[in-house]
Amino acid sequence: MKNKLVTAGVDEVGRGCLAGPVVSAAVILKEGINLDHLKDSKKITFKKRIEISEHIKSYSYYAIGLASVDEILDLNILQASLLSMKRALNKLKTKPSIAYIDGIFAPKNINIKCKTFIKGDEKITCIAAASIVAKASRDLFMIKLGKKFPTYGWNTNFGYGTNEHLKSLKKHGVTMHHRKKFKPIHNILFRSTRETL
């Protein structure tokens, strides 16, 4: 058992959002999990994703890591995404032999060997599981946050730049949870600044 390879799948969600943190999950699957459900989180409905996420968490060692809107502003979205991955891996109580990372970049300065996979969430089971857990966790976070800011529709758009979200931004302005360097937000702030001059 000591030589058994323990693999963690890692994926992040929320890179393209206009609001809210970027969230990653690291997942080590246990025996007994129903593999039929594990596919790219973007191809599963919200309700089913929450249900499958709970199943995954019951049959895995998992951890969630996030990087805040302020960290996205300070670091840039790529580095913030890698930071959230690193935090998820560091929080795992069972340490993996290797981490399979979705995409082409892996977190640095971490004591775990990492291997990247393009479209890994479509090809590798443990990455698909991480994708589902990360997406479900972030969606629920944004729904909760949306109760404090109901005009932006975060309960359904989860911070992505939908027409509803963009219209609300123009009407109600930018909140502390918006990513101020992202182009639509930056443009609104720039226009607002010019109008006050």
Four-point Cα dihedral 187, 162, 129, 119, nearest 10: -70
Task: Write down the pLDDT at residue 192.
Answer: 54
Query: How far is 75 from 142, CA to CA, in rounded Å?
Result: 22
C-beta neighbour count of 93 within 10 angstroms: 8
Name residues whose C-beta falls within 8 Å of residue 85's C-beta, 6 or more positions apart in sequence: 10, 12, 24, 26, 65, 101, 106, 107
Task: Write down the pLDDT at residue 195.
Answer: 46
Tens place of pLDDT for every residue, the chain, 197 residues?
356 789 999 999 999 999 999 999 999 999 999 888 787 677 788 999 999 999 999 999 999 999 999 999 999 999 999 999 999 999 999 999 999 999 999 999 999 999 999 999 999 999 999 999 999 999 999 999 999 999 999 999 999 999 999 999 999 999 999 999 998 898 887 665 444 43
Task: Write down the pLDDT at residue 39.
Answer: 72
Choose among 113, 117, 111: nearest CA to 130. 117
